[in-house]
């Protein structure tokens, strides 16, 4: 009996030592379960918010032959900016902005291709001959039931006809491509959406003055923008994007692309949590608008898993400065018919070839123009020689208005070269119209500021 007690004690010790271990693993499993439940709850809440947003924004594509491309692997979205005034129905609906957006979620890149509203097209669907491309939306808006069936809404008709006309002008079918999805942004609601993000920051490259900016009551007013970075609310950003009297429709196209870049930058600075927090504000902005004048409508199925994944990949990884920027401009014009712009087909296809694929410097043939915005004589020439030795193609140097900050302006069609220049010099890259003094041949403009010796 005396020897049994210690043996029992000895046998009990391992059991006692194992209890804390089992307790530790139990607590760890409980912690993992709680964390997993919270992640699932957060994901579920996020997807619920996305579905609410998609229910408001998404409309059916009424075209008979709908594209099936996924933005996860490459798809085209036609972005249409409209000027719609429900209280003035006799004025019709105009599309002042047409921008074809190439989305590639897996490749992590986006490219814009802008079409000026004065581009001449043929619209046989409604019996029109040669006319401006901005007539496509208004004609589809008016004739939606006749063109696409009695259930088609005016907005769906405008979106569908615009897509067909753009496909024809750019000959996308011959490239094995299509306008896969469309989206309309109503100018009246555009400001509200930017305000929901808290505004955007725009670096205005030069002084702008428009003495005849159109107002809502069909009058005009004076608008001015001083050069330099500035915070803009939605109403101000809309004016900046729409004004064209200070230069031309090509300048307006560049400003519109600059605003798109600024919106992307604002979303990126918010981070994922900030973007999630913006969804309720966007929902409030959209819910408070009558269905007939939604600020944004799209045929892109936002809640579809592949679409949602591609947008999340692009939102998380795409640097706004790497946005591809292309536009039909003076280099593609064959001749004009009054104010209508007629393009050289081969030049249009060459530009599309660049836009369609990830940016490659070898295809761009970029021309860099260095401007001296300092008091140091000969600085632009010295920097131009250095860049020429680094295998950049240079235009003769020039002068700019004095500036404190060195900047690179990507004027268009050379995104890969612009990024290499910005990275090599450690200078901010801006997608914007060129500053004063820039050569019209330049696709990239480097303005040397007072901080240049510090670079």
Q: Write out pLDDT tens, residues 395-429.
A: 999 999 898 899 999 887 888 899 899 999 999 88
Burial 178-211 (b: 16+ CB within 10 A, else e): bbbbbbbbbbbbbbbbbbbbebbebbbbbebebe
Residues 183 and 204 in one domain: yes
Residue tagged 């929901």 (tokens): 196
285 versus 400: the higher-pLDDT residue is 400
User: Which of these three, 334, 356, 378, is where a domain ends?
Assistant: 356
Residues 295 and 182 in one domain: yes
Average pLDDT for the chain: 84
Classify residue 415 as exposed, middle or buried by CB count within 10 Å of its CB (0-12, 13-18, 19+). buried
Residues 350 and 367 in one domain: no
pLDDT in tens, 308-324: 888 888 877 777 777 88
Residue 192 three-state SS? helix
- Closest C-alpha to 440, from 281, 331, 346: 331
- Closest C-alpha to 208, from 246, 258, 245: 246
Residue 219 lies inside a defined structural domain of this protein? yes
Residue 203 three-state SS? strand
pLDDT at 285: 63
pLDDT tier at 1, thresholds 50, 70, 90:
very low
- Strand ranges for 241-332 from DSSP E: 296-298, 324-327
pLDDT at 90: 40
pLDDT in tens, 358-373: 888 888 889 999 999 9
**CATH code, domain carrying 402:** 3.30.70.2390
User: Which of these three, 336, 356, 376, is where a domain ends?
Assistant: 356
pLDDT at 78: 96
- Closest C-alpha to 294, from 79, 84, 76, 78: 84
Q: How far is CA 179 from each of CA 76, 79, 100, 304, rounded to the nearest angstrom?
A: 5, 10, 8, 18
13-34 average pLDDT score = 66
The β-bridge relationship of strands 75-83 and 181-186 is parallel
11 versus 263: the higher-pLDDT residue is 263
CB atoms within 10 A of CB 50: 18
Count the domains in the chain. 2
The residues, ordered by sequence, that sit 6+ positions from 102 with a Cβ below 8 Å of its Cβ are: 74, 75, 76, 109, 110, 111, 112, 113, 324, 355, 356
Residues 304 and 426 in one domain: no
pLDDT at residue 68 greater than cutoff 80:
no
Residue 143 lies inside a defined structural domain of this protein? yes
pLDDT in tens, 203-261: 888 889 999 888 777 788 999 999 888 999 999 999 999 887 777 778 888 888 889 88
DSSP 130: E
Are the CB atoms for 254 and 433 separated by under 8 Å?
A: yes
Residue 202 lies inside a defined structural domain of this protein? yes
- Closest C-alpha to 210, from 189, 224, 190: 224
Residues 149 and 102 in one domain: yes
Domain that holds residue 416: 361-454
185-212 average pLDDT score = 85
- Closest C-alpha to 196, from 264, 283, 260: 283
User: Which of these three, 296, 327, 356, is where a domain ends?
Assistant: 356
Residues 337 and 372 in one domain: no
Residue 159 lies inside a defined structural domain of this protein? yes
- Tell me how far apart the alpha carbons of residues 444 and 214 are, in angstroms, rounded to a whole number: 31
């Amino acid at each position: 009996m005396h020897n049994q007690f210690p043996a029992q004690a000895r046998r009990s010790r391992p059991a006692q030592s194992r209890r804390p271990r089992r307790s530790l693993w139990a607590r760890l499993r409980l912690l993992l379960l709680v964390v997993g439940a919270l992640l699932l709850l957060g994901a579920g809440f996020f997807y619920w918010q996305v579905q609410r947003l998609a229910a408001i924004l998404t409309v059916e594509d009424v075209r008979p032959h709908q594209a099936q491309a996924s933005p996860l692997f490459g798809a085209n979205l036609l972005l249409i900016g409209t000027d719609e005034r429900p209280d003035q129905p006799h004025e019709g609906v105009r599309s002042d902005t047409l921008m074809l957006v190439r989305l590639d979620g897996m490749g992590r890149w986006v490219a814009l291709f802008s079409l000026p509203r004065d581009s001449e097209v043929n619209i046989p669907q409604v019996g029109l001959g040669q006319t401006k491309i901005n007539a496509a939306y208004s004609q589809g808006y008016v004739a939606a039931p006749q063109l696409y069936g009695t259930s088609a809404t005016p907005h769906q008709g405008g979106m569908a006809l615009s897509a067909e006309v753009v496909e024809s002008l750019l000959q996308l079918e011959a490239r094995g491509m299509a306008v896969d999805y469309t989206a309309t942004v109503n100018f009246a609601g555009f400001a509200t959406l930017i305000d929901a993000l808290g505004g955007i920051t725009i670096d205005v490259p030069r002084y702008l003055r428009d003495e005849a900016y159109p107002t809502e009551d069909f009058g005009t007013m004076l608008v001015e923008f001083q050069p330099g970075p500035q915070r803009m609310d939605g109403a101000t950003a809309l004016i900046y994007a729409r004004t064209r009297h200070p230069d031309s429709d090509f300048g307006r196209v560049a400003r519109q692309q600059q605003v798109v870049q600024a919106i992307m930058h604002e979303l990126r600075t918010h981070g994922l949590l900030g973007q999630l927090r913006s969804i309720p504000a966007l929902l409030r902005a959209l819910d408070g608008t009558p269905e007939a004048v939604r600020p944004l409508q799209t045929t892109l199925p936002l809640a579809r898993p592949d679409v949602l994944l591609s947008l999340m990949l692009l939102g998380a990884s795409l640097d706004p400065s790497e946005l591809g920027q292309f536009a039909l401009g003076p280099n593609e014009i064959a001749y004009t018919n009054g104010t209508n712009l007629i393009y050289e087909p081969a030049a249009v296809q060459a530009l599309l070839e660049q836009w369609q694929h990830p940016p490659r410097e070898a295809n761009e043939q970029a021309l860099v123009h260095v401007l001296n915005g300092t008091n140091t004589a000969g600085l632009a020439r010295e920097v131009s020689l250095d860049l020429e030795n680094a295998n950049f193609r240079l235009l003769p140097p020039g002068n700019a208005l004095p500036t404190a900050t060195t900047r690179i302006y990507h004027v268009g069609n050379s995104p890969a070269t612009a990024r290499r220049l910005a990275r090599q010099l450690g200078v901010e890259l801006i997608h914007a119209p060129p500053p004063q003094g820039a050569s019209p041949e330049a696709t990239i403009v480097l303005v040397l500021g007072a901080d240049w010796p510090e670079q």
